[in-house]
Structure 1
Amino acid sequence: MKPFLYSVIVFVSFSTISFSQEAVEKPSPPAGNALVGDYYGVDVSKASESKAISVEKLETKLESEKKVENVVVKGEVTDVCEKRGCWLTVKTGNGSSFFVKMKDYAFFVPTSLKGKSVVLEGNAEKKITSVDDLKHYAKDAKKSQAEINAITSPKEEIRFLADGIKVVD
């Protein structure tokens, strides 16, 4: 009986050690060149694409409304999360940018989307982003420690929750 018990203990110990040392892969953004016509999440239809408003119009709407739902906006991507492709920023009319997250983290975008023109479909609102969140996003964007440390106050900004993103000309 003792040899059997000893064998079981050795087997369980070995199995536990073997499985616990499996490499955990870090998630990364999807591969791809983000070509015109590519879409991520829900496909933005031609009909929706033709109704796209400029970022400037969105900014104007958000001055009078707290939230704009089911809006389609065309803009240029200025940054993409380097870690997973789970967020991006779009250039605003005044040269800054607004923040875009993917609804329910249902999809991610490749880093090659940076610099491309896109049409976003989803909901937009003005929100205050905490210092902790701003630092987290700066770290994801691989900003320098000095840039991260320089973030000391919350920021009111446009936040966009995208159902779909399509690369356009």
Structure 2
Amino acid sequence: MKLFFIAVAAVAFSLTSCKSTKIAYKHYGPVAVDSTQAVSLDEMVKTFAAQPKKDIFTFYAPLTGVCQSAGCWVKVQPTGGEAIRVRFKDHFLIPPVTEINSVAYFHGRAYYDTISVELQKHFLEDAKAPQSEIDQITQPKIELNFESDGVWVKKTSSKSKK
């Protein structure tokens, strides 16, 4: 019986010494993001398409791309649509090592912009795309963009209790 209690205690101790996951948000930019007012990325795209004069939004989405050079832009992907590039007002940066699929909350302005051939190539270079993909860019492109003045990025970190 004594051996049984020692075995149970050993298992319980080993479980409590495992890694735990802590979730927190890291804020970037001059504007605090109110996540209680956030809509999904899909809802933001739908609203902006229907009401282009309503261009200020707070939305959330997982990151699908991050500038690997300096962290000066990220990409988010609406359901069934083309990826949207989020650039940061006044050129604040997020760490280029920010994980893809991290959930982020953005506040800022949606707009359509013509992206020059040169800028499209620059973005692909930032993303470390292969030269063959960069060379395929030959025409300017109109796309939905978002200029964020504040972003919260969900950080998930494993911390050992040992």
TM-score by length of 2: 0.73
Count how many residue pairs are aligned between Structure 1 and Structure 2.
132
1:115 matched to 2:101? The reply is: yes
Q: Structure 1 residues 54 and 68, CA, compared in 2 at 3 Å: closer, same or farther?
A: same
Distance 2:29 2:58 in 1: 14
Q: Larger RCO: Structure 1 or Structure 2 (Cα < 8 Å, ≥ 6 residues apart)? A: 2
Alignment-derived partner of residue 132 in structure 2: 146
Percent of aligned pairs with the same residue?
A: 30
Q: Kindly state the Cα deviation for residue 157 of structure 1 after the two structures are TM-superposed.
A: 1.7
1:81-135 C-alpha deviation (Å, 9 max, x unpaired): 1111111111112153101111011x20112322201000111112221222111
SS of 1:100's partner is: strand
Q: Which runs of 5+ in 1 are unaligned?
A: 1-34
Return the structure number with greater strand share.
2
Report if the CA contact (8 A) 2:117-2:137 is conserved. yes
TM-score by length of 1: 0.70
Q: Which runs of 5+ in 2 are unaligned?
A: 1-22, 156-162
Alignment-derived partner of residue 25 in structure 2: 37
Alignment-derived partner of residue 76 in structure 1: 62
Alignment-derived partner of residue 9 in structure 1: none
Report if the CA contact (8 A) 1:68-1:125 is conserved. no
Return the structure number with greater helix share.
1
**Counterpart of 1:39 in structure 2: which amino acid?**
H
**Counterpart of 2:115 in structure 1: which amino acid?**
T
SS of 1:146's partner is: helix
Q: Structure 1 residues 96 and 69, CA, compared in 2 at 3 Å: closer, same or farther?
A: closer
Q: Kindly state the Cα deviation for residue 156 of structure 1 after the two structures are TM-superposed.
A: 2.3
For the aligned residues, what is the CA RMSD? 1.9
